[in-house]
Amino acid sequence: MEHDKKPDSGPVQDFLNAEEPRRDFFTQAAAVVTGAALGVVPLFAGLAVFTDPLRKRERKSEGGADAEGFLKVAPLDGLLKGGEPRRYEVIDDRTDAWNLFPREAVGAVYLVRPVDGLVKAFNVKCPHAGCSVDFKAENACFQCPCHDSSFKPNDGLIANPNSPSPRGLDELEVKEVDGMVWVKYEEFQPGTSHKVPEA
């Protein structure tokens, strides 16, 4: 490795003294572009997989849902007219990434049967932060165990105006067919003043 070098020449100096700056610029640009291309491919593949949960998935099984998406929840005669709200689990096929669990509890609802008219269904999740609300018979209201939001039993609206919940309990669509209560089970984003369905 015998070369003609000035004693004070370091690598940086050599570089700065390069005789073909134009060619060097193109070499540098080409090196940067090629290098960037090398990183893009694995990063693209990785980020595509990472962001897969943002993709809307087709439902793979109908579960117990009818054509309109209603699920059979409870027999109507299990609810007293004008009685207290009763809690029921909602049974449907549950998908968890690659697994499909047929007929499992996917959520829960409170059903209230008024003296007149259709049964009302409320999602048990508090619209504030998603905790599961209890029905407190002694206070005659739904109460959230997390931050004390309270809701009226007959229409689910906010009972105590100091409740942190931005809206009343989420009412769900209901139909009564052959003595059974069917509910269109949905979940809504917490923290908003009106219902926004979760994707």
Partner 1 sequence: MNAFLNWLDNRTGIRATVHEALFERIPGGARWRYVWGSTLVFAFSVQVITGLFLWMAYSPSSLTAWESVYFITYDMQFGWLLRGLHHFMAQAMVVLLAIHLMQVIIDGAYKAPREVNFWLGLILMQIVLGLSLTGYLLPWDQKGFWATNVATKLMTLVPVVGTKLQRLVVGGPTYGHHTLTRFFAMHAGVLPGLLIAFLALHIAVFRRHGIKVADPLHKKDAMFWPDQVLKDAVACLGVLLVVLLLTIFVGAELGAPADPSQAYAAARPEWYFLFLFQFLKYFPGETEIWGALIIPGVMFGVLALMPFLAKWKLGHRFNIAYMVIVLCGIGYLTAQAWHEDNRGPKSADYHRAVADAQTRAERVRELIEYGEGISEKGGRALLRSDPKTAGPDLFKRNCAVCHSFDGHDGTGGPQEKATASDLGGFGSRDWLKGFVVEPGGTKYFGPTANGSFNGKPIGDTFSNGAMARWAKEHAGKMSSGEIAAVVEFLLSQGDRTDLGPVDVDLAAKGREVFELGSLDANAEGAESRACLQCHEMVIDGAPLGTQGLAPGPDLSRYGSEAWLRDFLLNPDAPHNYGDRNAMPSYKDRMTEAEFNILLKWLRRQWLEVKAKK
Paired strand residues for 86: 111
Using the rule CB under 8 A, give the single segment among 99-107, 128-136, 156-164, 167-175 that binds partner 1. Answer: 99-107
Binding residue (CB under 8 A) for partner 1 from 99, 161, 178, 193:
99
Paired strand residues for 177: 180
CA pair distance 186, 174, nearest whole angstrom: 11
18 vs 80 by CB, closer to partner 1: 18
User: Considering just the CA atoms, what is the radius of gyration of the chain in Å?
Assistant: 31
- The H-or-E segment that residue 60 falls in is none
DSSP line for 88-150: EEEEEEEEETTEEEEEEEEEEEEEE--SSS--EEEESB-TTT-PBPEEETTTTEEE-TTT--E
Query: Is residue 118 involved in binding partner 1 (CB under 8 A)?
Result: no
Tokens of 22: 């134009």
52 vs 84 by CB, closer to partner 1: 52
Query: Is residue 98 involved in binding partner 1 (CB under 8 A)?
Result: yes
CB of 105 to partner 1, least distance (A): 15
CA pair distance 11, 134, nearest whole angstrom: 74
Task: Give the 3-state secondary structure of residue 86.
Answer: strand
Query: Is residue 192 involved in binding partner 1 (CB under 8 A)?
Result: no
Binding residue (CB under 8 A) for partner 1 from 6, 55, 56, 194:
55
CB of 92 to partner 1, least distance (A): 14
Of 52, 50, 68, 11, nearest to 183 by C-alpha is 68
Binding residue (CB under 8 A) for partner 1 from 47, 118, 137, 196:
47
Using the rule CB under 8 A, give the single segment among 35-43, 79-87, 107-115, 167-175 that binds partner 1. Answer: 35-43
CB of 3 to partner 1, least distance (A): 6
How many residues does the structure list for the chain? Answer: 199
User: What are the residues binding partner 1 (CB under 8 A)?
Assistant: 1-3, 11-12, 14-15, 18, 24, 27-28, 30-31, 34-35, 37-38, 41-52, 55, 60-61, 95, 97-102
